[in-house]
Amino acid sequence: MITSTEIRLKSRPVGVPTAANFDVATVDVPAPGAGEVLVRNRYMSVDPYMRGRMYDRPSYVPPFQIGEALQGHAVGEIVESHAEGFAPGDLVSSMFGWREAFTVAPANLAAMPDLFGKLPHVPGINPSAFIGVLGMPGLTAYVGLLEIGQPKAGDTVFVSGGAGAVGSVVAQIAKIKGCTVVASAGSAEKCDWLRSVGVDHAINYKDGNLLAQVQAAAPKGIDVYFDNVGGEHLEVAIEVARQGARLAECGMISQYNDTAPAPGPRNIIMVVGKSLKIQGFIVSNFGHLRAQFVADMAGWIAEGRIRWEETVMDGIAQAPAAFAGLFDGTNTGKMVVKL
């Protein structure tokens, strides 16, 4: 019998989540029976959408329950198998994050893209990439930009949350597609990193006057806005949008901890005169593009055209702090918890 430490939701956060909203518990993990495997997680993801699951209200994913272990993407290693086709040492992907180990039937495990050993000249690629650049955030960037934003070569693309897991991939795919890229982020260091991966204009929104900064970076306006932040960023994007621009609404992290609804963009009327197309999307509705995404992304990574950063926190007990860190910009690139 092995034990597993897991993180449970203790109370629903009001405002910014704190350690007091979480419990750390240790449980016995049952030995795998016939047809089951025992998995020890190696990396788990914390993602902004999880904040939405902490509210007790219907959404596109059900709310987390008080007293229960949280869930999320994880990459783990099989340590014991009684299931055909699964052997100790195999890496598997699951939604059983926020815990160290679990026993499950393989039907609950997602297949890992078969890329190990195929990108040998890319230093630093390891299983954590499959909860980041090659996982859900990467796919979000890919479908949100290409399917919703529909950039054309020569377009100017503005992405907020530019130094995050999704935003940094959006920025680089937009460069691959021949666009000029304006990306915003919350520190000078993050902006330096964005420039180092090819972003044309990196803006530190904490320097103030976001509108003037974006106008200076894109004097002719923008053709695509990829929104990770909402609020003032969305208002600025509408302001600088050119005729017929596309606004891909991926997320609005600036509002996830609001205790009352935020006022809408004050300039929303411009949507009419500029014939703007504003469309939200949820990555899970684009599973049919996953294989194409993995193939494209593996190619771009191999060519050195997509690079990524991870901010890694160590140990399951750090998971709540890692999650809270998403809301104060602790992470550059993907926030990852190593288990």
Give the interface with ligand NDP as residue ranges (CB under 6 A).
Answer: 47-49, 137, 140, 161, 163-167, 185-187, 190, 228-229, 250-251, 253-254, 281-283, 326-327, 329, 331, 335
Cα separation of 214 and 236, whole Å?
A: 8
Task: Tell me the closest approach of the beta carbon of residue 190 to ligand NDP, in angstroms.
Answer: 6
End-to-end CA distance of the chain: 19
Do 78 and 39 meet the contact criterion of CB atoms below 8 Å apart? yes
Q: Which is nearer to ligand NDP, 106 or 138 (CB)?
A: 138
CA dihedral (63, 69, 74, 77) positive or negative: negative
Task: Tell me the closest approach of the beta carbon of residue 110 to ligand NDP, in angstroms.
Answer: 16
Neighbours of 120 (CB within 10 A): 9
Q: Which is nearer to ligand NDP, 156 or 331 (CB)?
A: 331
Q: Which is nearer to ligand NDP, 38 or 191 (CB)?
A: 191
Q: Which is nearer to ligand NDP, 76 or 251 (CB)?
A: 251
Q: Which is nearer to ligand NDP, 115 or 183 (CB)?
A: 183
Q: Which is nearer to ligand NDP, 190 or 290 (CB)?
A: 190
Task: Tell me the closest approach of the beta carbon of residue 204 to ligand NDP, in angstroms.
Answer: 8
Mark residue 241 as left, alpha or beta (left: phi above 0; alpha: psi -120 to 50; beta: remaining): beta
Do 276 and 234 meet the contact criterion of CB atoms below 8 Å apart? no
Q: Which is nearer to ligand NDP, 281 or 300 (CB)?
A: 281
302-323 in b/e form (b: 16+ CB < 10 A) is: eeeebbbbbbbbeebebbbbbb
Cα separation of 189 and 132, whole Å?
A: 20
Q: Which is nearer to ligand NDP, 247 or 335 (CB)?
A: 335
What are the residues facing 3 on neighbouring strands? 28
Task: Tell me the closest approach of the beta carbon of residue 207 to ligand NDP, in angstroms.
Answer: 12
Do 247 and 276 meet the contact criterion of CB atoms below 8 Å apart? yes
Task: Tell me the closest approach of the beta carbon of residue 86 to ligand NDP, in angstroms.
Answer: 28
Task: Tell me the closest approach of the beta carbon of residue 325 to ligand NDP, in angstroms.
Answer: 8
Do 195 and 209 meet the contact criterion of CB atoms below 8 Å apart? no
Do 253 and 326 meet the contact criterion of CB atoms below 8 Å apart? yes
Cα separation of 219 and 240, whole Å?
A: 9
φ, ψ at 158 (rounded to 5°): -110, 125
Task: Tell me the closest approach of the beta carbon of residue 121 to ligand NDP, in angstroms.
Answer: 26
Task: Tell me the closest approach of the beta carbon of residue 234 to ligand NDP, in angstroms.
Answer: 11
Instruction: Return the beta strands (E) in 82-145 as ranges.
Output: 91-94, 101-104
